[in-house]
Amino acid sequence: MISFPGAKINIGLRVLSRRADGYHDIETFFYPVGLCDALEFVVPPANHDEDELTVTGIDINTRPDRNLIIKALKKLRERYPLPFLKIHLHKAIPSGAGLGGGSADAACMIRSADRCFNLGMNDREMKELALSIGSDCPFFLKPVPSIAKGRGEELTPSEPILKGYHLVLINPGIHISTRDAYLNSTPEHQKKELSELLSHDIGEWKKKVKNDFEDYAFKVYPVIGEIKKSLYLSGALYSSMSGSGSTVYGIFERKPDIESKIKKYVIWEGLL
């Protein structure tokens, strides 16, 4: 079975409070984008006593046994008698880039296994399993534009408000720890809902819609902040770091002429 796990960007990311379970309550707008990995698996001949995962494309510096796809399979086997699989993952979504690539791969594995082996999982069970793998993993089960709250699993689908805009994804190849990003954030409750701010014209988002992880990322890795500035100079209507970084995106009315100093970092561009 072949599937194509897709990436997401965060439009606004607000860290609201630290929870008793060690996680944080957040508010963000997940928006799916066209950049994707490719995931294929088959049931190999008999005598296999473990899953076999090969990875090509971008080097994600993760041992196969620590990949979230394998974690998803182990979680599935706690409930269902799945055969061991031979899996090939071709990576186009960078790791540690704020695009949700690992979570997308895991969610795609869950959905595909459910279909392939007729597991009959309902939405609640699938979401519960996905959340045990990662806070943004439930979004990728049905990746449509969604306001996310809680850990990121409380999802409210939204209209595709960016349909027709041109997106540019810039990644400088810096891996940022999500844990470090949270440790260096200052949780703060907000007076206005993110959905209210996003209802304004996109040209107003620059002053109203913020990613709370940017202050830390820009301080430690100034090049990320410079990329954001360059995207605005290239005509972006709105630019932001996605997730905990290090990818920065720009949203344009039409295909832009990106400044030469950041053009080498472009990893994807196209219509939303």
> 215 catalytic, yes or no?
no
Q: Is 127 helix (H, G, I), strand (E, B) or coil?
A: helix
Identify which of 35, 58, 27, 183 has the alpha carbon closest to the alpha carbon of residue 104.
Answer: 35
| Six-digit token string for 172 | 């400088």
8 is catalytic: yes
Q: Point out the catalytic residue in the list 136, 149, 210, 212.
A: 136
Continuous segment of H or E residues that includes residue 40: strand 38-42
Q: Assign 3-class secondary structure to 128-187.
A: HHHHCCCCCHHHHHCCCCEEEECCCCEEEECCCCCCCCEEEEECCCCCCCHHHHHHCCCC
For residues 231 and 224, what is the distance between their CA atoms, to the nearest angstrom? Answer: 11
From the candidates 8, 75, 127, 228, which is the catalytic residue? 8
Q: What are 166's strand-pairing partners?
A: 252, 271
Give the DSSP H or E segment for 41. strand 38-42
Catalogue the active-site residues: 8, 136
